[in-house]
């Protein structure tokens, strides 16, 4: 049998490469920690803010500063001499949780309003909101932001956010008639 020089050379290279690889230290695989899931949050009111009638309160999405936190502005459209606002906001506590609020501007223009905002009793899916003036401070009129409510997205899904038991109070602290309350639908998607 004749061996070709090239065949011997290829076998020698193969053996030397194999022995070099055997001497290498095993490579350690680093386990990467998975970052917490981020969510994309989209909110759509149940009506167009431009088409709602006067004496309407509507929810609109507001910018938020933190991951998985989203905020909703409660906007009043063409209210007149309102001394207080009371409402409950219903939502699914498995999908979102209430975090905090930021004062609006409409009531702030007339003085120092009192904000009472928090979960209603032990009901995690019902936020009670009351904004009022102390006696003798007059009432708020016009259109603008009443309050910004911030929530945390807990899991992907759809969540209805609806007003309940809403009241606008006149200067005599009596319930005003003909008020429209517009909630909306929230989509929480994985980023």
Pairing of strands 180-182, 123-132: unpaired
Instruction: Check: CB of residue 39 under 8 Å from CB of residue 191.
Output: yes
Query: What is the rounded CA–CA span in Å between residue 113 and residue 104?
Result: 10
> Could you state, in order of their start, the residue ranges of all structural domains in the chain?
56-186
Closest CA to 42 of 100, 102, 96: 96
Residue 20 CA to residue 42 CA, distance in Å, equals 57
pLDDT value of position 130: 97
Give the model's pLDDT for residue 64.
79
* pLDDT value for 135: 66
Q: Which CATH number fits domain 56-186: 1.10.150.20, 2.160.10.10, 2.60.40.680, 3.40.50.620?
A: 2.60.40.680
C-alpha–C-alpha distance, residues 125 and 15, integer Å: 70
pLDDT in tens, the chain (191 residues): 455 555 544 555 545 545 544 444 554 444 443 345 688 899 999 999 889 999 999 999 998 778 889 999 999 999 999 999 999 999 999 999 999 999 999 998 888 899 999 999 888 999 999 999 876 677 899 999 999 999 999 999 999 999 999 999 999 989 999 999 999 999 999 87
Total-model pTM? 0.78
* Strands 56-62, 114-120: pairing kind: unpaired
* Cα 94 to Cα 152: distance, rounded to the nearest angstrom: 11
Cβ-in-10-Å burial (0-12, 13-18, 19+) of 87 comes to buried
Show the tokens assigned to 136.
């003798």
Asked if 151 and 71 count as a contact pair (C-beta separation under 8 A), the reply is yes
């Amino acid at each position: 049998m004749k061996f070709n020089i090239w065949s011997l050379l290829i076998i020698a290279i193969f053996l030397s490469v194999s022995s070099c690889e055997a001497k290498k230290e095993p490579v350690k695989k680093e386990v990467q920690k998975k970052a917490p899931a981020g969510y994309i949050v989209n909110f759509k009111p149940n009506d167009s803010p431009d088409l709602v009638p006067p004496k309407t309160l509507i929810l609109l999405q507001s910018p938020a500063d933190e991951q998985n936190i989203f905020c909703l502005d409660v906007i009043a459209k063409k209210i007149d001499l309102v001394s207080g606002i009371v409402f409950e906001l219903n939502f699914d506590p498995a999908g979102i949780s209430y975090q905090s609020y930021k004062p609006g501007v409409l009531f702030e223009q007339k003085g120092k309003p009192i904000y009472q905002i928090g979960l209603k009793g032990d009901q995690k899916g019902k936020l009670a909101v009351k904004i009022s003036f102390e006696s003798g401070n007059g009432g708020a009129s016009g259109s603008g932001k009443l309050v910004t409510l911030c929530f945390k997205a807990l899991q992907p899904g759809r969540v209805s956010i609806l007003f309940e038991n809403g009241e606008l109070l006149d200067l005599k602290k009596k319930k005003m008639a003909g008020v429209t309350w517009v909630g909306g639908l929230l989509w929480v998607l994985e980023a």
